[in-house]
């Protein structure tokens, strides 16, 4: 990765650290810009920091993060090889749902991170991240586990949120099964990338890959 892209990603983190674009700055302890490899092939996007994340400034460092680590381990990935972020960089008080105005204010940071990291696959965790990143795609119960290439040329996989699966044995099994598809999807993306070398970028329809 070029030093320029790296310094741009660091500059975004600094900007987030001073951000007052929505009222969540008033109640945060730390901002949680995201963490991991700036050259990651896979980027995970959760909802928003919870209490532990707000205390430590690191995404998914509580109970659902532990489960996420286990799932990464099961496909021989780890946190330092992927990038993990959230739709909001600051914790909503009492973990309430993100408001549309907050998501809108915070979105440019995430968009810029995606542009600079340029992951092969974006994995959305839970309904909030899924509806933010794939507007119009419909509910997560219908779309989980399907890799979709969207009209913007990027490929997304929606998964249930690890926190939801922690309290529901059935969802846990489904999440583990969906998660295990990630290596297969990455493999397939390598091939499709080659096949589509000369494809007109504006002409890519939403396409189911796995």
Q: What residue ranges bind ligand URA (CB under 6 A)?
A: 46-50, 53, 59-60, 64, 86, 163
Burial-class residue 155 by CB neighbours within 10 Å (0-12, 13-18, 19+): buried
| Least spacing, CB of residue 10 vs ligand SF4, in Å | 16
Closest to ligand SF4 by CB, 31 or 155: 31
Question: In the structure encoding, which two tokens stand for residue 206, read together?
Answer: 């939403």
- Closest CB to ligand URA: residue number: 46
Q: How far apart are the first and last CA of the chain?
A: 29
Burial-class residue 159 by CB neighbours within 10 Å (0-12, 13-18, 19+): buried
Partner whose footprint covers residue 19, from ligand SF4, ligand URA, none (CB < 5 to 8 Å by kind): ligand SF4
Partner whose footprint covers residue 47, from ligand SF4, ligand URA, none (CB < 5 to 8 Å by kind): ligand URA
Q: How far is it, in rounded angstroms, from Cα 71 to Cα 128? A: 20
Examine residue 32 and tell whether it contacts ligand SF4 (CB under 6 A).
no
Residue 121's DSSP bridge partners are 42, 155
Partner whose footprint covers residue 165, from ligand URA, ligand SF4, none (CB < 5 to 8 Å by kind): none
| Least spacing, CB of residue 188 vs ligand SF4, in Å | 34
């Amino acid at each position: 990765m070029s030093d320029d892209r790296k310094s741009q990603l660091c500059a975004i983190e600094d900007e987030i650290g001073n951000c007052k674009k929505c009222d969540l700055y008033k109640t945060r302890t730390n901002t949680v810009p995201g963490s991991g490899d700036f050259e990651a092939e896979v980027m995970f996007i959760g909802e928003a920091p919870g209490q532990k994340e707000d205390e430590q400034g690191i995404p998914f460092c509580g109970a659902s993060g532990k489960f996420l680590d286990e799932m990464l381990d099961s496909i021989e990935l780890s946190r330092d090889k992927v990038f993990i972020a959230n739709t909001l960089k600051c914790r909503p008080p009492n973990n309430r749902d993100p408001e549309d105005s907050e998501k809108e204010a915070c979105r440019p940071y995430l968009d810029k991170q995606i542009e600079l990291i340029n992951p092969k696959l974006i994995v959305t965790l839970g309904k909030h991240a899924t509806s933010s990143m794939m507007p119009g795609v419909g509910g997560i119960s219908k779309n989980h586990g399907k890799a979709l290439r969207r009209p913007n040329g990027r490929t997304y996989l929606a998964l249930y949120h690890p926190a939801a699966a922690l309290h529901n044995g059935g969802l846990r099994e489904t999440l583990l099964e969906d998660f295990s598809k990630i290596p297969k999807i990455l493999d397939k993306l390598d091939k499709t990338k080659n096949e589509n070398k000369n494809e007109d970028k504006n002409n890519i329809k939403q396409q189911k890959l796995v």
